[in-house]
Structure 1
Amino acid sequence: MGQKLQAQDWPNLNKYQKDNLRLQNEPTTSNSVVFMGDSITEFWSNVAPQYFQTHNYINRGISGQTTPQMLIRFRADVIALKPSIVVILAGVNDIAENTGPATLEMITNNIFSMIELAKAHNIKVILCSVLPAFDFPWNPNQNPATKIMALNNLLINYADVNAITFVDYYSAMVDDRNGLPLIYSADGVHPNKTGYEVMARLVQQAIQLNSTK
């Protein structure tokens, strides 16, 4: 029975359920920040935990997830925690087709829906560019670099039109083949400690900007 229930939990709502309940029962803080994403967000707390610990930020990344999964769990893992800011980093696993083929429109529709949900609940949004990737080790020969650039252009334009803070990890980390260089990543997709230090510096500026608004 337990295995059947787990198989049906496609968005993995169970992963953070207990911790979400714990946080909801604690006194709310007006300056809490939730990071919503996939493995790049989840592994940040493992590779460079001091960033989240120092600032008391909440990590809601789940490895392998695509934007439809994140959209389903957005209420439970973000809105219910009543943060002042949500940092959204999503889309690379859609391009990798982790849950099946996805067009750029499908990806952006899900990301924009998350943003609209956040805004409806007075949560400020920081939208992040997808990190560069020349190839995916778990699903090779997909030629993701061009798709990532196209997705990022759509995200930048949306952020600009809707006055949303945009964090451009891509430009700060991309190499000459439009991938993620070894200095920032061992596998070309997931950042190492140096990569996360670059990301922390950029997103921290955006969080401070939104904290003073």
Structure 2
Amino acid sequence: MSYRPIRPLAIFLLLFSLTTLPLQAQESDAQFSIPQTDDGLPGEGPIRRYDWFRNLWQNKRSQWSKQVEADQGAVVFLGDSITQGWGDNLGGSFGDMKVANRGISGDTTRGMLIRLEEDVLALNPKAVVMLMGTNDLEEKAEPETIAANMKLIVAKLKEHNPEMPIILCKVFPSSASKSRSAEKIKRVNELYAEGVQGDPQIIVLETWLPFADENGDAKSEEFPDLLHPNQKGYAKWAAALRPVVATLGFLETEPDDFQVEPGFTSLFNGKDLTGWQFKANPERKGKKVGIAWPIIEEDIAFDGKTESNDGRYVAINDRLVVTTPAEGRRIQQLWTTQEFPGNFVLKLEFRATPNADSGVFIRAPQLQCRDYSLAGPYKELKNYKPQDWNEMVVTVKDGVAYCTCNGEVLEEAFQVPETGPIGLEGDRGQMEYRRIRIQELN
């Protein structure tokens, strides 16, 4: 396709047409303009009123008002220029998932609060993804003010639909040269997490760590201007979100067509938690721990159940999902009801959201299974694929396990007891497991 530059006359005619709209259209668009003063407006902190921003804010919102019917039931992305710059369909990053981009370049949390009803709630979203706060910092707002506006937005979303999932993305790193210091951004993110802690309707997604350099600032290879992501940056954001929206049922809804190899037995049927249980842990009673650790009075088997009794472990389209804990961190362990003495080969695949922390129990000892590149301990793996599926293989012979991830050694001589079950731990973030199978050796 040949590129045809726009002629100056065409530009003039376009601008002329925009400034000579029928009076009725201008009056209609006026309802979407920024209020002239802060009097009586909800929230606190800055509302931008630069000429360029006034025009953009009004034009964007006026256009969206004509799409309300078409965008009903979408997953709505609410934000500023970072969200707007992803494009109307978010670069096709989410396949057939219906999306609506409601990002406005330059907007602040208070601006988003003011336009929430018409731009977001009117769409009756299936879910809302929020990334907000960076422009507030440029306008010298304090983190506490930004977090307070976020809580007001969340309250309105919850009032509209108390069951609608809300995904709160942590503010991306930037730079002090952009009036967005690492210290201020980290404080905003801390307050965000604290402000929604314990709310099961809200999923806090770690979207600061994957982008931050050793100083906590944006990396120029992903944020060329130290503020806005390039294609590589958007791809990482999409990768962080996809496992979460898949667990919510908006993506990857088809069953896995994987066939277990001859000689192997599947430990997870893909449909429910048959063969898995919570084991009693009376030894935890009376102990003080820094993070939530549920006490299980007696063994609880989940045969025929699609999720555990606390909703932490869920069977979804051939994936065994350890969901994101509302507390931020919560230790929970799911075990097979069967024990495995002797020698065996255990194979499985796992996928982790950024900085997620989990583990695979080999009879009793825990082999760390995490988002290795961020959470460790195996940070130097060359074949690990962040936010994608990775294969773990554990070969147990005579009480010693040889463990690999995508062919790279994790542990060469992992000591295990003579017998015991296989277990999966949940701690921080979302973990998914699939294709869990075992071959018992003679």
Give your verdict on TM over 0.5: yes
Q: Find 2:151's aligned residue among 112, 119, 123.
A: 112
1:89-104 alignment, distance < 5 Å: 89-97=131-139, 101-104=140-143
Gaps of 5+ in 2: 1-22, 36-53, 250-315, 317-322, 324-442
C-alpha separation in 1, matches of 2:61 and 2:95: 17
Structure 2 CA distance, aligned partners of 1:19 and 1:70? Answer: 14
2:218 paired with 1:172 = no
Counterpart position of 1:133: 174
* Aligned-residue offset at 1:157: 2.0
Is the contact between residue 181 and residue 188 of structure 1 (CA under 8 Å) also seen in structure 2? yes
CA RMSD of aligned residues (A): 2.8
127-136 vs 33-42, which moves further: 127-136
Q: Is 2:198 the partner of 1:161?
A: yes
Q: Contact 2:71 / 2:100 at 8 angstroms: preserved in 1? A: no
C-alpha spacing 1:54/1:194, structure 2 compared with 1 (3 Å): farther
Instruction: Verify the 8 A CA contact 2:80 2:103 in the aligned structure 1.
Output: yes
Q: Which amino acid aligns with 2:228?
A: H
Give the length in aligned residue pairs.
202
Distance, in Å, in 1 between the alignment partners of 2:122 and 2:88 is 24
Report the Cα distance in structure 1 between the residues aligned to 2:151 and 2:169, rounded to whole angstroms.
12
The one-letter amino acid of 1:157's match is E
Deviation of the 1:190 alpha carbon: 0.5
* Match in the other structure for 2:127: 85
Alignment of 1:19-98 (within 5 A): 19-24=64-69, 26=70, 28-29=72-73, 32-45=74-87, 49-51=91-93, 54-97=96-139
Q: Does 1:145 align with 2:190?
A: no
Deviation at 1:127, TM superposition (A): 0.5
Q: Answer whether contact 1:13 1:73 (CA < 8 A) is retained.
A: no
Which structure is richer in relative contact order (CA contacts within 8 A, separation 6 or more)?
Answer: 1
Bigger Cα displacement from structure 2, 8-17 vs 121-130 = 8-17
CA distance in 2, matches of 1:22, 1:171: 35
TM superposition shift of 1:148: 0.1
Pairing of 1:190-201 with structure 2 (within 5 A): 190-201=228-239
Flag the structure with higher helix content.
Answer: 1
Q: Once the two structures are superposed, what CA deviation does each residue of 1:88-128 show, in whole Å capped at 9, x if it has no partner?
A: 1100000111xxx3222211111111111111111321111
- Which segments of 5 or more consecutive residues in structure 1 lack a partner in the other structure? none
Indicate how the Cα distance of structure 1 residues 159 and 109 shifts in structure 2: closer, same or farther if over 3 A, else same: same
Letter in 1 for 2:235: E
Q: Is the 8 A contact 1:33 1:83 kept in 2?
A: yes
- In the TM superposition, residue 47 of structure 1 has moved relative to its aligned partner by 10
159-168 or 84-93, which deviates more: 159-168
Does the residue aligned with 1:36 lie in a helix, a strand or coil?
strand
Which residue of structure 2 aligns with residue 184 of structure 1? 222
Which residue in the other structure is 2:34 paired with?
A: 9
**In the alignment, is the contact (CA less than 8 A) between 1:33 and 1:57 conserved in 2?**
yes
Cα distance in 1 between the residues matched to 2:95 and 2:58: 23
Q: Indicate the SS of the match to 2:66.
A: helix
Q: Which has the larger radius of gyration?
A: 2
Conserved 8 A contact 1:47-1:192: no
Q: In 1, are the aligned partners of 2:128 and 2:167 still within 8 Å (CA)?
A: yes
Whether contact under 8 Å (1:34, 1:58) holds in the other structure is yes
Deviations 1:158-199 (A, max 9, x none): 233323201111011110121111221111110011111110
Work out the percentage of aligned pairs sharing the same amino acid: 31
Q: Give the structure-2-normalised TM-score.
A: 0.42
- What is the distance in 2 between the residues matched to 1:143 and 1:35? 22
Q: What SS class does the counterpart of residue 93 from structure 2 fall into?
A: helix
Pick the structure with more strand per residue: 2
- 1:9 is displaced (CA, Å) by 2.3
Query: CA–CA distance in 1 between the matches of 2:198 and 2:67?
Result: 37
Letter in 1 for 2:185: I
Runs of at least 4 residues off by over 6 Å: none
SS at match of 2:167: strand
Per the normalisation by structure 1, the TM-score is 0.83
Whichever residue aligns with residue 102 of structure 1, its letter is A
What residue identity is the alignment partner of 1:84?
Answer: K
